[in-house]
Amino acid sequence: MGYKNNNTGYLDGLLQSRAVIRKNNFAILPHDGLVNNVIPGFENCECSILGTPKLGASFVDYIISFKKDGANQLGFGGPEIESFLYVISGKLEVSDGKETHTLTDGGYIYLPAGEKLYMKNLQEEATEVFLYKKRYQPLENHQSYKVVGNLSELTPIQYEGMADVLLWDFLPKELGFDMNIHILSFEPGASHGYIETHYQEHGAYLLSGKGMYNLDNEWFPVEKGDYIFMSAYVQQAAYGVGRDEPLTYIYSKDCNRDPEI
């Protein structure tokens, strides 16, 4: 075990944290407090487990740093489990056991339930990725399928007509997909147009910038490297602060399914 930012040993000053954990409601996990976990299959990797069912999520999020020769040859995912990977920085080889793809900064891959994802670092330096898995909810006469691409190939849309808030969608808007992954980016001073309250839950990893986030009608400071979990119906909104760098985060959203009773 070790801190994600390698800040081990005694600190100068008081032991303190911006972490806020309210299980089954929301959570903020600052990068300063993330620890490394041993996960079977991941070799020469530093793995931080983020959102999980123990927190209240219906999915699992990770930040994985593939060191030199870092790989997963065992396979990630499996029966009934769908997965998504996004390269934050670096160069990664990924495979579904049939085809191999090389992903660089902004590269991503989605694999449907039943397929395993194999990964290997292709550079001397570390490659950092955001990794997601979820139990797939089948829908009669519809199915998902593999999607591979890069953020640079996608056209952002103005979020609800706001030119300084941009949204990227990674997966097709088809009923075969029971979730989607997005990137949302706020220029300094930009914000949501209103406080959102909805059925969908999110897991969000901050890729850049600083901001203030409203969770359950409380405002919290957040910055690059932080992770936020938002459960169903928790109030949520954000605005970007700072000077030159936008507040940008990648996040998951469940969709295209009728709630079960």
pLDDT in tens, 204-226: 999 999 999 999 999 999 999 99
C-beta of residue 18 within 8 angstroms of C-beta of residue 221: yes
pLDDT band at 33 (very low <50, low <70, confident <90, very high): confident
Which letter, b or e, does each residue of 234-243 get, where b requires 16 or more Cβ atoms within 10 Å of its Cβ?
bebbbbbbee
Instruction: Evaluate if residue 186 carries a pLDDT over 90.
Output: yes
pLDDT in tens, 97-112: 999 999 999 999 999 9
Among 214, 111, 114, 115, CA closest to 171: 111
C-beta of residue 251 within 8 angstroms of C-beta of residue 206: no
Instruction: Evaluate if residue 150 carries a pLDDT over 80.
Output: yes
C-beta of residue 192 within 8 angstroms of C-beta of residue 239: yes
Rounded to an integer, the average pLDDT of 31-40 is: 92
pLDDT in tens, 75-101: 999 999 999 999 999 999 999 999 999
Q: What is the pLDDT of residue 1?
A: 47
